[in-house]
Chain A
Amino acid sequence: EVKLVESGGGLVQPGGSLRLSCTGTGFKFEDYAIHWIRQSPRKGLEWVSGINANGDYTRYADSVKGRFTVSRENAKNSLYLEMSDLSVEDMALYYCAKDGGEFSRGEYSFDSWGQGTLVTVSS
């Protein structure tokens, strides 16, 4: 069974930083691209970032480019999202999701999702 578990969410002040993690099991982690997707009541679902299987190709939404960095450590079946200069606009439930297999060809699909980790930005 494919399982993705996010962690690292919490309360952070505006302008602060946070690092999210995602651990994947039940599939060959090193063979798949993985994405970060966030959801908030105000903005709905929003694709944030994606990284290919070996970590040398990344993509970002314009809203986070330059502030967020996605990386992975396949030996630990882990994905990370380094977030900086956070604002209330970034407050959301952050999901990691396994790609359906065509990320490098420009087709993004999310065939398994974690349960999310909550990021709250407040002073």
Chain B
Amino acid sequence: SYELTQPPALSVSPGQTARITCSGDALPKKYTYWYQQKSGQAPVLVIYKDTNRPSGIPERFSGSSSGTTATLSISGAQVDDEADYYCFSTDSSGHQRVFGGGTKLTVL
């Protein structure tokens, strides 16, 4: 079955740039979506189609994709950005829709 691989955890200091990666064999041809989930809350879409930011999402959130790796960047990370972040995409056939295992971001 298709898998998206994320680092389990990442820690940065306030004001630094956090870069969360997501690796998958089909990413050169398939879009990646990113979701933020704060403790006890439902996920929130923060990046769609690799690089696009929904309205209401701060400009410090950005996305990129190169080869088999997609990256969510949070520039000038804030304590309020502490959350689990999940990537989502599909396999090359478009049949399997999967989330990555999630990355727990700590900002302190």
Residues of A bordering B, CB below 8 Å:
44-47, 61-62, 95, 100, 106-111, 113-116
Minimum Cβ distance to chain A for residue B96 (Å): 8
Do A47 and B99 form a contact, CB below 8 Å, given A100-B48, A109-B33, A109-B48? yes
B14 interfacial contact with A, CB 8 Å: no
B60 interfacial contact with A, CB 8 Å: no
Residues of B bordering A, CB below 8 Å:
31, 33, 35, 41-45, 48-49, 54, 86, 88, 90, 94, 96-99, 101-102
- The one of A46, A62, A106, A110 in contact with B43, judged by C-beta atoms closer than 8 angstroms, is A110
Q: Chain A interface secondary structure, helix, strand, loop or mixed?
A: loop
Minimum Cβ distance to chain B for residue A118 (Å): 13
Q: Count the A-B residue pairs with Cβ separation under 8 angstroms: how many?
A: 47
Do A44 and B99 form a contact, CB below 8 Å, given A106-B94, A107-B31? yes
Tell me the bound Cα distance from A7 to B85 in angstroms.
26
Tell me the bound Cα distance from A40 to B88 in angstroms.
16
Do B97 and A100 touch (CB < 8 A)? no
Tell me the bound Cα distance from A107 to B35 in angstroms.
15
Tell me the bound Cα distance from A113 to B44 in angstroms.
7
Minimum Cβ distance to chain B for residue A109 (Å): 5
Do B99 and A100 touch (CB < 8 A)? no
Do B97 and A113 touch (CB < 8 A)? no
**Nearest-neighbor residue (CB-CB) of B45 within chain A:** A111
Minimum Cβ distance to chain A for residue B8 (Å): 11
Contact residues in B for A46 (Cβ distance below 8 Å): 99
Do B45 and A109 touch (CB < 8 A)? yes
Contact residues in B for A45 (Cβ distance below 8 Å): 35, 43, 86, 88, 99, 102
Do A110 and B99 touch (CB < 8 A)? no
Do B99 and A111 touch (CB < 8 A)? no
Contact residues in A for B45 (Cβ distance below 8 Å): 100, 109-111
Ranked nearest first, the 10 interchain pairs of A and B with the lowest CB-CB distance are A113-B42, A45-B99, A47-B97, A109-B48, A111-B45, A109-B33, A106-B94, A115-B42, A45-B86, A44-B101
Contact residues in B for A107 (Cβ distance below 8 Å): 31, 49
Tell me the bound Cα distance from A94 to B65 in angstroms.
30
Do A108 and B97 touch (CB < 8 A)? yes
